[in-house]
C-alpha cells in the first residue's frame, strides 16, 4: 500500500522559490570581480534567475544540455546557476585551478554548449578556445561598461543576456531524479571524472547539511562560503542557505587573508567554510594585526585534515567553534562533521581537542564502514583502520558517461552499493571517524602503516613551520621510511633538529621521520590539497641518512 501524501518533487528550483517567498528581503552580498561590494536579495536573485532561464530557452538550450560556469562565488554566478538548473539544463562548474589542458578536456567531455565566465578567466578561455569548439556562446559575467575586447565566440555580457527580458517564466517541470549539476574531481591520476548530481540528491543533501548537528544555518545567520562553487557546490551552501533564508556573503576573486577578514568583519558573518590553507592565511593576517572576529560563531574546515593547532587557535584565541568536516566531490560533498555528542561539552579541553581533530560523525543520509583489503568489515573500536566505504542518496554510483566503472560496467559501487572513498580511516564506538591517509599515500614501513596525516598534523604545530608534508621514501630494510618536507614561516630559521625534537614523544617512535627536507614551496592541487604525487616524484631518488 502506498502512502497518500502529495507528490512534491524534490527539485532545486523549489529552494529558490522558498527563499523568494519567505526570505525575499535577505541579502546576498558580493565582492564583485569588477571591485565594488554589490548587494542584492533572494527576491532579486529569483527574478534574475528566471530571466536567465528564459534567455537560455530562447537560445535553444533544453533539458539535459550542459552549460559551463568558470566563475568565483558571486551573486551573478548564483543567478546563472539557478537559471540553468531551473530549465533542467546541467550546470557544469569548472575549476579554474585545473591545468588549461584539463579544462579543455572536461569542457569537451561535458560538451558544454555555453560557458558563463568571469572577467578573470576570459584570457584563460581565449587561450584554449580553439580546442573547445563545442562551445557556441560565451556569457561574460559582467555588464556592458566592463565588457573586455575578446575573441571568444558570440561573447555577450551577462547583463545584456538578461537585459531586455522579463521574469515572466515558469520553471520547467521534470522528474526529481533529473541531473542538475556536474562537477569533475581533480583526478590526481588519469583524467578528471564527472560527478553528476541530481535535483533530488541536492535537495536531500541541503536538508542534511542544515541539520542542527551539521552546519545548522538559520535564517538569522550570515554564511560566507569561501570554498568555491566550483568545489562541489561550495559544500552545498548554495542550496542550504537559500533553503533557510540565511544571508550569503560571496567573496568573489579575493581569497587572501585581509580580504576574507574584511568581509567576515564588515558583513558580520556568523558561519564560514573553507579548506585549511585559506584559514592559515586569515590567521596569519589576524595575528600580525592583532585583530578579532566578534561576530563569527562557527568555521567549517575540511578538504584536507585540519591540524589541531589551528583548531586550538580558532577556539581558544578567537572563540570560534571549529566544525571539522570530511567529504568528497562524489558525496555532494559533505560526509561527516565533528559536532559533539552529549557529555562532551564537559570534557577537559585536551580531550575535546582529540575529538575535534577527528573528521567527525556521519550525518543522516550517509552510511559508513571500514573494511580490510579483502573487503571484510573491521570493528568500530577507534583503533582498527581500513578502507572507508560509504553509501547514501547523495553519493555517486557512477561517473558521467560511465567513466571509471568497475568490471566493464558504469558502476563505481560494489554489489551492496558501497563506494570506496580511497581513504583509510578508523571509526570509534561513538561513530567518530578519523582519516589516517589516502590509500595511495600511506607509508608502508616494515609491513606496518604510518599515517602521514598524523605526523603532518603534529609537525605544523612546531613554531616556525608553515606547511608540512610527509611522504614515504624507499628504504633497503623497511621498504619505506617517512621523509618530512617543510616550508618554513617567513623569517623562520627552524632546523631539522628542532623539528625532530618537537615531534619526539608526540608520535610513536617508529613514526619519527628519518629525515627533514626544507623547501620554498609545496605544490597544491586544484582543491588545495598537498600534491603528494608530485612530491614523491620530486624526492624519488632522495637518499635517507638511515638507508
Q: Is 25 exposed, middle or buried (0-12, 13-18, 19+ CB in 10 A)?
A: exposed
User: Which one from 27, 159, 176, 330 is the annotated catalytic residue?
Assistant: 330
In the complex, what is the shortest distance from the CB of residue 84 to ligand ADP, in angstroms, rounded to a whole number? 22
Is 456 among the catalytic positions? no
* H-state helical runs in 467-520: 496-503
For ligand ADP, the binding residue among 15, 227, 305, 507 (CB under 6 A) is: 305
Q: Which of 40, 41, 185, 272 is catalytic?
A: 185
Is 178 near ligand ADP (CB under 6 A)? no
Residues between 179 and 198 that touch ligand ADP (CB under 6 A): 185-186
Mapping DSSP onto H, E and C, the string for 26-79 reads CEEEEECCCCCEEEEEHHHHHHHHHHHHHHHHHCCCCCCCEEEEECCECHHHHH
- Identify residues 310-349 at the interface with ligand ADP (CB under 6 A): 324, 326, 328-329, 333
Dig out the grid coordinates for 464 from the structure.
Answer: 616556525
Q: Please identify which residue in 73, 93, 272, 304 interacts with ligand ADP, judged by CB under 6 A.
A: 304
CB of 197 vs ligand ADP, minimal distance in Å: 13
Q: Are strands 385-391 and 367-371 parallel, antiparallel or unpaired?
A: antiparallel
41 belongs to the binding site for ligand ADP (CB under 6 A): no
330 is a catalytic site residue: yes
Q: Considering the complex, what minimum distance in angstroms separates the CB of residue 281 from ligand ADP?
A: 18
> Is residue 140 within the footprint of ligand ADP (CB under 6 A)?
no
Beta 385-391 vs 419-427: how paired, if at all? Answer: antiparallel
Residue 106 binding ligand ADP, by CB under 6 A: no
| Active-site residue identified among 127, 444, 501, 543 | 444
Beta carbons of 103 and 83 less than 8 angstroms apart: no
Phi, psi (rounded to 5 degrees) for 324: -75, 125
Catalytic residue among 449, 489, 496, 534: 449
Strand pairing category for 271-274 and 222-225: parallel
Candidates 123-131, 298-306, 367-375, 395-403; binding stretch for ligand ADP (CB under 6 A): 298-306
The answer to the question of residue 529 lying near ligand ADP (CB under 6 A) is yes
DSSP notation for 358-396: S-BEEPTT-EEEEE-TTS-B---SSS-EEEEEEE-TTS-
State how beta strands 27-31 and 247-250 pair: parallel
Site for ligand ADP in 359-398 (CB under 6 A): 359
449 is catalytic: yes
Q: Between 137 and 525, whose beta carbon lies closer to ligand ADP? A: 525
189 among known catalytic residues: no
Does residue number 425 form part of the binding site for ligand ADP (CB under 6 A)? no
In the bound state with ligand ADP, the residue whose beta carbon lies nearer, of 469 and 544, is: 469
Measured distance CA(134)–CA(128) in Å, rounded: 12
In 403-539, which ranges are continuous DSSP H helix?
452-459, 496-503, 532-538
Query: For residue 63, which of 97, 80, 87, 44 has the smallest C-alpha distance?
Result: 87
Which chain residues interact with ligand ADP by CB under 6 A?
185-186, 302-305, 324, 326, 328-329, 333, 359, 421-423, 435, 438, 525, 527, 529
Catalytic residues: 185, 330, 444, 449
Amino acid at each position: 500500500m502506498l502512502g497518500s501524501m502529495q507528490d512534491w518533487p524534490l527539485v532545486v528550483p523549489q529552494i529558490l522559490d522558498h527563499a523568494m517567498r519567505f526570505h525575499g528581503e535577505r541579502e546576498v552580498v558580493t565582492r564583485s570581480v569588477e571591485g565594488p561590494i554589490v548587494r542584492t536579495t533572494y527576491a532579486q536573485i529569483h527574478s534574475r534567475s528566471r530571466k536567465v532561464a528564459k534567455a537560455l530557452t530562447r537560445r535553444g538550450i533544453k533539458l539535459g544540455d550542459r552549460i559551463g560556469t568558470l566563475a568565483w562565488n558571486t551573486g551573478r554566478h548564483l543567478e546563472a546557476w539557478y537559471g540553468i538548473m531551473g530549465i533542467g539544463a546541467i550546470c557544469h562548474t569548472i575549476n579554474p585551478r585545473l591545468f588549461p589542458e584539463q579544462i579543455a578536456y572536461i569542457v569537451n567531455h561535458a560538451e558544454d554548449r555555453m560557458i558563463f565566465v568571469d572577467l578573470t578567466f576570459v584570457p584563460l578561455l581565449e587561450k584554449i578556445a580553439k580546442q573547445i569548439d563545442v562551445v557556441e556562446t560565451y556569457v561574460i559575467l559582467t555588464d556592458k561598461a566592463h565588457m573586455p575586447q575578446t575573441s571568444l565566440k558570440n561573447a555577450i555580457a551577462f547583463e545584456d543576456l538578461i537585459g531586455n527580458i522579463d521574469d515572466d517564466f515558469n520553471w520547467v517541470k521534470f522528474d526529481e531524479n533529473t541531473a542538475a549539476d556536474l562537477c569533475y574531481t581533480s583526478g590526481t591520476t588519469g583524467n578528471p571524472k564527472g560527478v553528476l548530481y541530481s535535483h533530488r540528491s541536492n535537495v536531500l543533501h541541503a536538508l542534511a547539511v542544515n541539520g542542527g548537528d551539521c552546519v545548522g544555518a538559520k535564517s538569522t545567520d550570515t554564511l560566507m562560503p569561501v570554498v568555491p562553487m566550483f568545489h562541489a557546490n561550495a559544500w552545498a551552501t548554495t542550496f542550504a542557505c537559500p533553503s533557510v533564508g540565511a544571508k550569503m556573503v560571496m567573496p568573489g576573486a579575493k581569497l587572501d587573508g585581509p580580504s576574507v577578514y574584511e568581509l567576515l568583519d564588515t558583513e558580520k558573518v556568523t558561519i564560514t567554510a573553507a579548506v585549511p590553507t585559506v584559514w592559515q592565511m586569515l590567521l596569519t593576517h589576524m595575528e600580525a594585526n592583532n585583530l578579532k572576529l566578534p561576530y563569527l560563531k562557527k568555521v567549517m574546515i575540511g578538504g584536507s585534515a585540519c591540524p589541531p593547532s589551528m583548531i586550538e587557535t580558532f577556539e581558544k584565541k578567537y572563540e570560534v567553534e571549529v566544525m571539522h568536516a570530511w567529504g568528497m566531490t562524489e558525496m555532494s560533498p559533505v560526509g561527516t562533521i565533528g559536532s559533539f555528542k552529549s557529555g562532551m561539552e564537559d570534557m577537559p579541553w585536551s580531550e575535546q581537542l582529540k575529538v575535534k581533530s577527528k573528521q567527525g560523525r556521519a550525518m543522516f543520509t550517509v552510511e559508513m564502514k571500514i573494511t580490510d583489503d579483502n573487503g571484510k568489515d573491521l570493528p568500530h573500536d577507534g583503533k582498527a583502520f581500513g578502507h572507508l566505504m560509504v553509501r547514501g542518496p547523495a553519493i555517486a554510483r557512477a561517473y558521467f558517461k560511465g567513466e571509471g566503472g568497475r568490471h566493464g560496467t558504469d558502476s563505481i559501487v560494489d554489489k551492496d552499493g558501497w563506494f570506496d572513498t580511497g581513504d583509510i580511516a578508523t571509526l570509534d564506538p561513538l561513530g567518530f571517524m578519523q582519516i589516517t591517509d589516502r590509500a595511495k599515500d600511506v607509508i608502508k614501513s616494515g609491513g606496518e602503516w604510518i599515517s602521514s596525516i598524523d605526523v603532518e598534523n603534529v609537525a605544523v604545530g612546531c613554531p616556525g613551520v608553515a606547511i608540512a608534508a610527509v611522504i614515504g621514501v624507499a628504504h633497503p630494510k623497511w621498504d619505506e621510511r617517512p621523509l618530512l618536507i617543510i616550508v618554513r614561516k617567513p623569517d623562520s630559521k627552524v632546523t631539522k633538529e628542532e623539528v625532530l625534537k618537537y615531534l619526539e614523544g608526540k608520535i610513536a617512535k617508529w613514526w619519527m621521520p628519518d629525515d627533514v627536507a626544507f623547501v620554498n614551496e609545496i605544490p597544491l592541487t586544484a582543491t588545495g590539497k598537498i600534491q603528494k604525487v608530485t612530491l614523491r616524484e620530486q624526492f624519488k631518488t632522495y637518499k635517507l641518512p638511515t638507508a
